Structures are given as structure tokens and as C-alpha cells.
Chains A and B, each alone.
Chain A
Amino acid sequence: MLSCFRGPALLALACIALAGCSSLGKTIDAVDGLIITQGQIDGARSSYIALFLTPAAHYRCASIDGGKCTPRQICRTGQSFLRDQCATRDAITKIQSTTVALSKGLGDLQAQFNAGNNTGIYAAYSAVQAAITAAAGLVATYEGN
């Protein structure tokens, strides 16, 4: 019933006037683009893997062989990724904390969706999407220094 109150006021009033208006509420959600689909979560995950995790793993690992990471060496003072192919502690720490946050964000999103809550997670989905974009920019910055 609460979902009736989303969307334009007139539609909400009309919705209240109708019996069993949850389906109309979902329609309003769909018009507003507020329903999250499994496809959107899958798309977010693929973007997360391609735009953040893959370059971040290459920043962390000097070589990746069969899923095994040989960690990149830590830069000493005056050294850089571009010149010396080393990684800074600060960058690694930020990449690791970003990974934990994004992984949790995606996991929570999937869990909410699996629980049948596909209309109340739009804000969370948008936040995860924005975080993936920001994280991709972050790792690109580290690889450009």
C-alpha cells in the first residue's frame, strides 16, 4: 500500500481510490525507473569486474598466473608506478578498502533482490553504480602516476 504514494500526486490519489493498488504502485515505479532487475545487478557486477577489479588486480599483482597473484613491490621514496612498476602502500590500502565496500554493496544489493525487494533498492543500486565509476577513476589515477 505504501508504494501507492510514490509518483505524481494525482496518480497517488487515484491509486488510493482503487482497491488492490499494489500493481498500480509497481507500474508507477516502473515509469519512474525505480524497479531494479537482475540484469541491472549483473550489469553492475560486470562493470565492477571490468572497470575496477581487473585493473586493480594488475596494480596489486606484478604477475597473475592461473589466478595466483605475485604482489607488486612497494615503491620507495621517489619511485612511481609508471617509472618503476611499483605500487604505493597508500594506493593499495585504498584499493583494498574500496574493494571491500563495493563487494559488500553488490552483495547487499543481490541479497535484497533475492529477498524480493526490487522496488526499495533503487537508491542502493544508484550508489553502487556511482561508487564503481569513482573506483574505476581511482585505480586509473594510480596507474597513471
Chain B
Amino acid sequence: MDAATILADAQVILSLGKLAVQVGMDAAPYIEQAYDIVVLKKPLSDADRQAAIAKQAELEAMIATPLDDTGSAA
């Protein structure tokens, strides 16, 4: 394995690590919220419920981005 391959692999691992951290950071407030509701039986305020519904709609809209808007990987 040459240096260029090792460097390329390291870059892939680094980018995947960054992605995992980003997903974790974005999901953390809602994992905590689910824990509060389900385990601690702490009710959600109306404002928090509306914020969760808005976040749900925002993420669903991102996922619904049409395939036609996506190019091919180089």
C-alpha cells in the first residue's frame, strides 16, 4: 500500500467520522427529547411540539429533493 492510498483512505475515514459526528450532533436534541418524554414522562410544551413538527417538515422536504436535481459522482 503506497502513501497515496493510505492518504486517500485516511481522508475517507476522516470525512465519514465528520459525517457521523454531524449526524450525532443534529440528532442529539431529539434523542434527548424522546428520552425525556418516554423515560422521564416529562410532557412536551406546545412550543416544543410545534418546533419538532417544523423540524420534521424541514427534514422531510430535504429528503424529498427530486432525484433529477442530483448529479452523478465523479
Residue in B43, B52, B60, B67 whose beta carbon sits within 8 Å of that of A46 in the complex = B52
Q: Is the CB of B73 within 8 A of A75?
A: yes
Q: Is the CB of B22 within 8 A of A58?
A: yes
The tally of CB-CB contacts under 8 A between chains A and B is: 118
Which chain A positions have C-beta within 8 A of B73? 73-76, 79, 84-86
Is chain B's interface secondary structure helix, strand, loop, or mixed overall? helix
Q: How many interface residues does B have (CB within 8 Å)?
A: 38
Q: Is the CB of B62 within 8 A of A43?
A: no
- Contact indicator per residue, chain B 3-18, by CB within 8 Å of chain A (1) or not (0): 0000000001001100
Known: A42-B49, A42-B52. A64 touches B67 (CB 8 A): no
The 4 A-B pairs with the shortest beta carbon distances in the complex, nearest first, are A50-B30, A46-B34, A86-B73, A69-B62
